[in-house]
Amino acid sequence: MGKIFRNRDKLSYKYIPEKLPHREKQLGIFISVFDDLLSGEKIDFPRTLQFVGVVGSGKTSSSIVGVRKLGEEIRKYGLTLKHIYVNLKIEATSPFLLYKTLMEKVSMSASRSLSAEELLSKFVKKISKLDYLLFLTFDEVDFFVRKESKTPGIIYDISRFYEILNSNGIKSNIVGITFISRSVDWLSYLNPAEASTIGALSILYPPYSKEQIVDILEYRISESLYENTVSEDVLEYIAEITSIYRNGDIRYALDILLYSGIIAEYEGFSKITLDHVRKAIGKNLFYSGDIQYLTLEEKSILLATIRSIQESKRMYVPLSLIRKNYELLTETLPIRRLNEDSFELSIQKLVNIGALEFKGLTRITVSPAVDEKILLEKIKQELKKIAKN
């Protein structure tokens, strides 16, 4: 029996948790769009919304949790809300497939002999007879629109369900349609008529910050791991690299935590350590917490690199400039100056641990996890300690 996982599945990025910490605002806006429905009134027009944000910012989960919440709220009026969620990238790579998918999701079969157009009209007629309300979500719509530019009009069709229903003399039972995309660029692929039917309300999903990632991981851990299996250090590390190198993609953080846990269990540990996380990442990504393990000379070299970057206003700087600034530092601060060989060995070590990035003798830069202020503070602390002894 392992000592780490209580329920491994609940750490999977495929699992949609009960709550979504740090998405309360977005969910609040979403729900408020339907406040008339929530007070028992009928909705004549399907409301169209957009969720826009980078990968792993909680858009898909929000759509699931949001519609689930809506459904729970209106149950007291005897209403049932069914969510039809379609990932366009996976489930609907052509209009025909899209309508076929939609029909299957309301338990209809789609005949191959019908055109996409006929399928849509059949679908619209069928759903008006359902004794429940519908909510439609179209995910990864930007992918679809670009790919599908040969058949424009599909987005238009989707957002015009209501009008199609109306022209058939039937009332809509679709209460809302959400389009999910990474950016708003896809709107520019639409013609003006299509774009105008999408509706104006966009709910934005900014990337999760480092602090937010720590909170989310803590919440997910409470459902999936035993107590005291992960220290704050480990969480901070995973959150930091996710934030810096993966633009806050929470899926990456969850994956790394999962793999780290698997490695820890395999090695017989009852706690996940930084070492397990590093193994899970399989690559040297520098963590700001690692600064404390560097020597005073190594810290000075990093500081000299940052100064070189500032001085030249370039991301990548030559080794000679780093050495010049390093020597300058040893003149202004009581830091031992390394000889040529030791200096180069230190550079090599900093590259190996990921604190520096080396693309050639004239192209060296520092990891984004190295912060000048923290570096300077640590150097000063250390110098004070030396002075006391």
- From edge to edge, which strands make up the β-sheet containing 174-181? 81-87, 133-139, 174-181, 47-53, 202-205
Relative to beta strand 364-366, strand 356-358 is antiparallel
22 interface partner picked from ligand ADP, Mg ion, none, CB below 5 to 8 A per type: ligand ADP
Question: Which residue, 114 or 204, is less far from ligand ADP as judged by CB?
Answer: 204
Contact between residue 114 and residue 61 where contact means Cβ atoms under 8 Å apart: no
Beta bridge partners, 205, equal 53
Point out which residues bind ligand ADP (CB under 6 A): 13, 15-17, 20-23, 53, 55-61, 205, 216, 219-220, 250-251, 254
**What is the longest distance spanned by two Cα atoms in the chain?**
90
Report how far residue 142's alpha carbon sits from residue 247's, in angstroms, rounded to the nearest whole number: 19
- Alpha-carbon separation of residue 9 from 16, 31, 42, 360 (angstroms): 11, 29, 39, 44
Buried/exposed 38-54: b ≥16 CB within 10 Å, e otherwise: beeeeeeebbbbbbbbb
Stretch that binds Mg ion, among 42-50, 54-62, 333-341, 355-363 (CB under 5 A): 54-62
Question: Which residue, 250 or 302, is less far from Mg ion as judged by CB?
Answer: 250
The minimum distance between CB 281 and ligand ADP, in angstroms, equals 18
* 26, 48, 60, 137: residue in contact with Mg ion (rule CB under 5 A): 60
Interface with Mg ion in residues 199-258 (CB under 5 A): none
The minimum distance between CB 351 and Mg ion, in angstroms, equals 36
For 13-74, give the DSSP string: TT---S--TT-HHHHHHHHHTTHHHHTT---SSPEEEEEEE-TTSSHHHHHHHHHHHHHHHH
17 interface partner picked from Mg ion, ligand ADP, none, CB below 5 to 8 A per type: ligand ADP
- At 12, is the secondary structure helix, strand, or coil? coil
The minimum distance between CB 58 and Mg ion, in angstroms, equals 8
278 interface partner picked from ligand ADP, Mg ion, none, CB below 5 to 8 A per type: none
Question: Which residue, 60 or 229, is less far from Mg ion as judged by CB?
Answer: 60
Question: Which residue, 52 or 375, is less far from ligand ADP as judged by CB?
Answer: 52
The minimum distance between CB 151 and ligand ADP, in angstroms, equals 25
How many residues can be counted in the chain? 389
User: What residue type is assigned to position 162 of the chain?
Assistant: Y
Stretch that binds Mg ion, among 59-67, 155-163, 240-248, 319-327 (CB under 5 A): 59-67
Question: Which residue, 124 or 217, is less far from ligand ADP as judged by CB?
Answer: 217
End-to-end C-alpha distance for the chain, whole angstroms: 50
Report how far residue 266's alpha carbon sits from residue 140's, in angstroms, rounded to the nearest whole number: 37
Relative to beta strand 133-139, strand 81-87 is parallel
226 interface partner picked from Mg ion, ligand ADP, none, CB below 5 to 8 A per type: none
Q: What number of chain residues touch Mg ion (CB under 5 A)?
A: 1
The minimum distance between CB 180 and Mg ion, in angstroms, equals 6
- DSSP for residue 85: E
The minimum distance between CB 140 and Mg ion, in angstroms, equals 7
The minimum distance between CB 183 and ligand ADP, in angstroms, equals 12
16 interface partner picked from Mg ion, ligand ADP, none, CB below 5 to 8 A per type: ligand ADP
Question: Which residue, 15 or 259, is less far from ligand ADP as judged by CB?
Answer: 15
216 interface partner picked from Mg ion, ligand ADP, none, CB below 5 to 8 A per type: ligand ADP
The minimum distance between CB 147 and Mg ion, in angstroms, equals 17
Q: How many CB atoms lie within 10 A of CB 386?
A: 11
Stretch that binds Mg ion, among 56-64, 183-191, 232-240, 311-319 (CB under 5 A): 56-64
Question: Which residue, 242 or 288, is less far from ligand ADP as judged by CB?
Answer: 242
Report how far residue 213's alpha carbon sits from residue 253's, in angstroms, rounded to the nearest whole number: 8
CB closest to Mg ion, residue no:
60
Residues that bind Mg ion (CB under 5 A): 60
